[in-house]
Structure 1
Amino acid sequence: MKAKNIIQFLLAGFIVLLLAACSNTDAEQLFEETPTERLNAQKKELNDLLLSSENGWKAVYFTYDSVLGGYTHLFKFASDGTVQMASDFDADTKVYNSEYQIQLGSTVSLVFTTKNRIHLLSESDNYPIAALRSKGYLGDFQFLYYGEENGDIVFKTNRNNHELRFVKATPQDWTDLPKNIDMIKNVVGSDSRPLFRLLETTDGTTTHQFDFTFSEVTRFAEANSIESGYSFTYEMGVGYAPNGIIISPAVEVGGQKLSNFVYNDLDGSFTATGTNGVSATIKYSTKPLVITDDYKALLPGNPQSVYGYISANLYTAPSNSKMFKDLVNKVNATLPATQSLARIQIVFNNATNGTYIQYLFNGGKATISHLVTTKEDAANKTIILTNVGWTQSAANVAFLKELDDQLTNPSGLYVKKESFKITYSNVIWTFTSAASNFRMTTYAL
């Protein structure tokens, strides 16, 4: 073998040995820590992070954003294992003290070990709707640590493995937390605003509109496209903020994700603004976005049909307007303590009595009926109920006047056969005033 080749061979062998030595050293360094030592290092890392923020941490916790909205929590951790905590779960935004631990298991986790505001989301006997009975708000008080990213502490929830981020809080976050509660009335809407709402999106060139509904009790909203040939639905959890709302999952428009909607008190709208003309706005409309012909089935010449509001089952229906519930409460306030309004039934096209509104009561009070005629306003797609007479004297029905005036207003009622159900399999029909914020929810009986 030539000397030149021998030298090249020896050089190649030396390089191989050198690389092997480096690889062995790296492997030794990689595995010289035991799993327990690595977990302890993570435990210290999390502990140092929790204590590092002068004003604590903020988390908007969407426990399950396909059913429920978000709840803002503020935390201030101390080295003695105590934590100060406040939340906007309800109107009580005061700061409470409790204890926490950083625990080791298969991973490192933050556990709130004594009861505080965060536990309101995990109590199985504390639930907002019947569908969540024995499940509560689907929340956790143990959070699995996944590291730090851009200054945030990243956790996964123990219950459903959803990501939750702690961001550094400011003094203003603690001061402004009660403003989240003040924002609720703007999201729900007041009687001074129109009853109907829509979500309008634009990608800079094309605009789409969606019928918008919101449930205060679950902090959850749904928006369905109203355009023929364009079928799309947004379902979103809503979290409150001092200046508006936070949406999860984000509304995606033109490839951009919009989640922070700012409130405008002048018109009651909430707007999220992206770039290049992209935006999404929740705003009011003076009439329904989709006006149906469902009222036609109630006009003279059709078979008898009966629609009943039953207080025991439908008083809390989210499709009832606040105005309707206020008028029901006002009627009940005029009655003796043992009596209350049990039902409002509208009977259309009865063979003997024609069309009439029935008011039925608990506590032995006799039923009161209001005989009416019906006609359609074809241009506005409403049905108009007009007074014929009552089965009792004017003095005896005066306490029903404000409520009855909404059902018989000259502008008529929008009628809609709804797609959702409430408790029973009966089809839901809503009757909505064309002149006010009155909407009553009924069963087809």
Structure 2
Amino acid sequence: MKRIFHLCLLVVMLLSACDKKEEIAPGEKPDERLNKTLTDYKNQLVGAENGWKAVLYPDGGAAYSFYIKFNANDRLSMLSDMNASSAATALESTYRLKAMQRPALLFDTYNYMHILADPDPSKSNGEVGAGKYSDFEFSFESVTPEAITLTGNLQGSRLILTKATKDEADNFIKRIAEKVKTFESINNFATYFKKLVIGNSSYDISVDTNLRQITFTYFEGTTAKTFTTDYYYTETGITFLTPFAVGGLNITGLNAIQYNATNRNISFTVNNVAGNIQESARPTRIDVEAARSFFNATGDDYLVAESGFTVNGVPDAYKVSSITNFYFVAFWPKYGTSNGQSYDIFGVVTQNPTSGQLTLFGPAAASRLTTDGRIVYTLLGTVGTQPAGVEAIMTPTIALWTNTQGFYVVTTQYGVDLVSASDGKSWINLYR
């Protein structure tokens, strides 16, 4: 009987032990730990006496710099290098730290970061409905006393915050904005071709200052190659997101950039070697194969232009797009034959706003390929019926297209550009 009693007592003690819950010390519960982490992160953001430098790398490419001062009342002040003028205008907005799948930093009212993500292209100069594929809600990836790395929750953009000094708080964006203004002076160049020269090496480049993208053209034997990289601005120049490495050169960016307005010339250094970007009437080397391929195109397809020729830096200089009911320009190689002569057309397409019917008219010309890689057009006549009142538009357009010097052909990502060989100051962008 005594043994049975002891066994029962043991069972009661074991059951009591199972019912007893282990006590969790204060601050060890998951939500308490997360709240403490968020508090620590906020204290670090607010505690930076001189605020933070920030570089945002949108998923759409390139990168943008900011200066941010976080305040304890969940408000912040922000400057940006999105354009040269934005450096002078601080935007205030709110922010908050929130427990999501990971601790997150949300910029929850409109500021410069929202502009990059804005789906309205008039705001971001980005794509309709997507902007520049950027973020304004981020999760913390790594945190050190001097730097914080975050990842965008929607697009996967990368945001890096670095503690600023007093001098950087006052001048970081201001100095960068000066370099934005300097480098974007390349848009003042009158010629299509821009030649980048470093020592004995020369390359044709094209720059899209909206996308912050630069393309180099170089040759491997007789084959033209292109290399494109995004870039972002620094306090001394621009840095390439992907270095351009060819012919013994490794160009990671352009430093100490300066603009000479008189000569329309941008000077810089690369690895302490002086260089410059200058206007050029012709390419550094003519891509004869591009001209030959374009010349040999069949009449099965045409290329489209959204407007007429750019002349001396003025887009659609002759106002082709102002023609009533203008739809697009159709450049059609080998459109037809006349008396055994093949001809191309520079067709202006209009669309009846009521019926939707398309009408085409414009000059027809025979083309020939020169030995040095130019295409020259000789006027033969017209196709379609030219509307009344467009002579002032079409006459200079036809004269330019049939200039006896012809055109260089430049292959692009979406089609070709025809560039006047007479001075390189007139061109038209054609795409498929």
Q: Structure 1 residues 285 and 152, CA, compared in 2 at 3 Å: closer, same or farther? A: farther
Pairs within 5 Å for 1:30-179:
34=28, 43=38, 45-64=40-59, 67-89=60-82, 93=86, 94-104=89-99, 108-123=103-118, 134=130, 136-144=132-140, 146-148=142-144, 151-158=146-153, 159-160=155-156, 162=158, 164-168=160-164, 169-173=168-172, 175=174, 179=178
Q: CA deviation at 1:87?
A: 2.5
The normalised TM-score by structure 2 is 0.69
Asked if residue 383 in structure 1 is aligned to residue 375 in structure 2, the reply is yes
How far apart are 1:68 and its partner, in Å?
Answer: 1.7
Check whether the contact 1:97–1:116 (CA below 8 A) recurs between aligned residues.
yes
User: Which of these residues, 320, 326, 329, is aligned with residue 331 of structure 1?
Assistant: 320
1:385 partner letter:
Y
Alignment partner, residue 431 of structure 1: 418
Aligned pair partner of 1:245 in 238, 249, 266:
238
SS in 2 for 1:405: helix
State the SS of the aligned residue for 1:326. coil
Any idea what SS the aligned residue of 2:188 has? coil
Change (3 A) 1:400 1:233: closer
Q: 2: distance between equivalents of 1:298 and 1:113?
A: 51
Measured in 2, the distance between the counterparts of 1:430 and 1:230 equals 18
Q: Give the equivalent residue in structure 2 for 1:310.
A: 304
Q: 1:411 is matched with which residue?
A: 405
RMSD value over aligned CA atoms?
4.5
Question: Does structure 2 retain, via aligned residues, the 8 Å contact 1:209–1:226?
Answer: no
C-alpha separation in 2, matches of 1:68 and 1:53: 29
CA distance in 1, matches of 2:64, 2:135: 10
Normalised TM-score (structure 1): 0.67
Q: 1:309-340 deviations in whole A, cap 9, x for unaligned?
A: 534xx459xxx86758723662344x4xx433
AA of the residue aligned to 1:404? I
Distance 1:420 1:340, change over 3 A: same
Alpha-carbon spacing, 1:328–1:134, altered in 2? closer, same or farther (3 Å)? same
**How many residues are matched?**
384
1:291 matches 2:287: yes
C-alpha separation between the residues in 2 aligned to 1:414 and 1:76? Answer: 51
Q: Tell me: CA distance 1:88–1:148, structure 2 relative to 1, closer, same or farther (3 Å).
A: same
Deviation of 1:433 after TM superposition, in Å, equals 1.1
1:197 aligns with 2:202: no
CA drift at 1:375: 4.0
Q: Is the partner of 2:338 in helix, strand or coil?
A: coil
SS state of the match for residue 94, structure 2? strand
Alpha-carbon deviation of 1:97?
1.5
Distance in 2 (alpha carbons) for counterparts of 1:116 and 1:243? 26
Give, in whole Å, the separation in 2 of the partners of 1:40 and 1:346: 66
Change (3 A) 1:307 1:110: same
Indicate conservation of the 8 Å contact 1:385/1:412, yes or no: yes
**Equivalent position amino acid for 1:386 in 2:** T
Q: Match for 2:271: what amino acid?
A: G
Show CA shifts across 1:28-86 (max 9, x none): xxx9984777766654554344334454323231213xx42222222122121110123
Aligned counterparts of 1:233 and 1:340: Cα–Cα separation in 2: 34
SS at 2:399 equivalent = helix
Gaps (5+ residues) in structure 2?
1-24, 353-357
Range with bigger deviation, 341-350 or 219-228: 341-350
Cα 1:121–1:47 change in 2 (3 A) is same
Corresponding residue for residue 352 of structure 1: 338
Q: Residues 334-384 of structure 1, C-alpha deviation per residue, up to 9 Å, x if partnerless?
A: x4xx43363243544832164354442425697543344444432x32122
Partner SS for 1:399: helix
* Identity rate, percent: 17
With over 3 angstroms needed to count, the CA separation of the structure-2 counterparts of 1:269 and 1:226, relative to structure 1, is farther
